[in-house]
Amino acid sequence: ATAEKKLKADAEVGSRLTVAAKENAVKKDYTKTIVVVLNAEYASEGEKLAKLLGGTVSPLPEGEVPPASDIAVIVGK
C-alpha cells in the first residue's frame, strides 16, 4: 500500500498507473524492491517505477508466479 501511494503521488507515473492486484510474493525475505517488466513494451516505465521506489529492474525471481500484468513490483524490506 505504501509503494502504491508513492507511485500514485508522482505526477508523471500516477495518472497512468493501474494496480491490477496486490498479492504476497512466494518468498518473504526480499531485502530490496524488485521491478519485473513482463512486457518489453513497458521497459521504460519499469525503469521509472524502480527509480521512484529505490529498487532495481530484474527478471522474475525463481519460484515466483508471473502475474497477469505488464509489470510486477516485489516490495522488499
Q: Model confidence over 2-19: pLDDT tens digits? A: 888 888 888 888 888 888
| pLDDT attached to residue 21 | 86
Measured CA to CA, the distance from residue 5 to residue 2 in angstroms comes to 5
**What percent of the chain has pLDDT above 70?**
100
Residue 55: which pLDDT band, with cuts at 50, 70 and 90?
very high
Q: DSSP letters of 6-69?
A: HHHHSHHHHTT---------S-S---S-EEEESSGGGHHHHHHHHHHHT-EE-PPPTTPPPPSS
Instruction: Choose between 35 and 77: higher pLDDT.
Output: 35
Residue 42 predicted with pLDDT over 90: yes
Length of the chain: 77
